[in-house]
Homo-oligomer: A and B are copies of this chain.
Amino acid sequence: MRDVYIVGIGMSKWGEVWQQSLRDLHTDAALKAIENAGVDHIDGMYTGCMTGGMFIGQEHLASLLTDYMGMSGIPAVRVEAACASGGMAIRAAFIEIASGMSDIVMASGVEKMTDCSGEEATQALAAAADQEYEVFHGATFPGLYALMANAHMAKYGTTRDMLSAVAVKNHHNGSMNPVAQYPFKVSMDQVANSVMVADPLHILDCSPITDGAAAAILCTKEVAKATGKPYIKILGSGAGTDTIQLSQRADLTTIKAATIAADSAFKMAGKTIKDMQFAEVHDCFSIAEIMVAESIGKFEPGKAGPAILNGETALDGAFPMNPSGGLKSKGHPVGATGVAQIAEVYKQLTGQAENGRQIPNSPKIGMTQNMGGSGGSSVVHIMEVA
């Protein structure tokens, strides 16, 4: 397998974006990534999108989007693993370059979630759960994560304050991110007193509905060097699945797919969690960040909540988590999220994080963890300064 590098990234402004359609959002991020990378063409494209069909009635996206980028003709395909679609696009591009088939591949992600009613958006997102065994019986995503939160609280004594601390930290980081949907800070009290969605999850425990796109340029070392731009190396890529239905899982307090994906990525990279200096993780709900931090092996079960509450994962802590602001503050256009995590790691490792969001002491190695639905899919990448 050939070594694979990332040489540039691009993001649209995230939020409730009425002035850009899905194709506009994607073109925005894609052209920024190409310019940022300093390449004059791409050999192909993988685009993560969860459900263009249910949100805006448009499938066949990869073909449509290459056309709007002015690059019609190149091989292009959409990949989908619910909210892990973006990370899976990165993984597919990684494999294609590793194989020797292509030298420069774009991995992108996009979702346009606000061109429908809130009820339609909830229905579209629920397509990531098991329709026949969960959704038809009334489950929604906040409800599924609330079940996991209650199980985690019962088993490990995880508290309201620990959940709130995730939101407070991520909004603090996101307040320095120029593309974030909600770049404001929140207090522990604000989170705890925000409207209840599904007990114990309040609205400030939940990531928002977001329009947005992100893109990254993956390439060989020769291409990366020739651009003259900063680049980082992908050391490992891992993916895993688990049963989608919560009712079929042995343990509701851990994300097995994230453990499988992380183990696989660490093995490929020849690294362990102890080598990691920071992580972008999938905080679709506050409880998710806690569970993921334990599932990837950073903290013992039940120990992530206290660590987050104690500031160990703050920007200036021992192991910063979600320096970008995470899904919580930055927003969560589901298909784009996994690519945006990679974009943040690229910025952090190349010293380009804006507005004081840069992790102190120039980190040299970091990771991403992206997740589909309630943990039915997960994908992990390990990246290092080249």
Point out residues on A near B: beta carbons under 8 Å: 1, 21, 23, 44, 50-54, 56-64, 66-67, 72-82, 88, 91-92, 95-96, 98-101, 123-124, 126-132, 135, 238-245, 248, 256-257, 260-261, 264, 372-373, 376-377, 379
Contact = CB atoms under 8 A, between A and B. Distances in A.
B95 A63 contact: no
B60 A242 contact: no
Determine how many copies of this chain the complex contains. Answer: 2
A44 B237 CA distance: 13
Given A62-B377, A127-B58, A241 B79 contact: no
A64 to B, nearest CB: 5
Contact of A54 (B1, B53, B96): B53
Contacts of A59: 50-51, 54, 80, 82, 127-128
A63 B123 contact: no
- Residue from A56, A77, A82, A248 whose CB has the most chain B CB atoms within 10 Å: A77
A72 B127 contact: no
A73 B242 contact: yes
Contacts of A130: 58, 64
Contacts of A248: 67
B58 A373 contact: no
A244 B58 CA distance: 12
A287 B16 CA distance: 43
A60 B373 contact: yes
A257 B60 CA distance: 14
Contacts of A80: 59-62, 77-80
20 contacts: A21-B132, A51-B59, A52-B127, A53-B53, A56-B131, A58-B127, A59-B80, A60-B128, A62-B241, A62-B377, A63-B82, A63-B242, A63-B244, A64-B130, A67-B248, A73-B256, A77-B377, A96-B99, A98-B99, A98-B100
A104 to B, nearest CB: 15
B131 A372 contact: no
Contacts of A264: 75
Contact of A60 (B62, B95, B123, B376): B376
B101 A95 contact: yes
A7 to B, nearest CB: 20
Given A51-B53, A57-B123, A73 B240 contact: yes
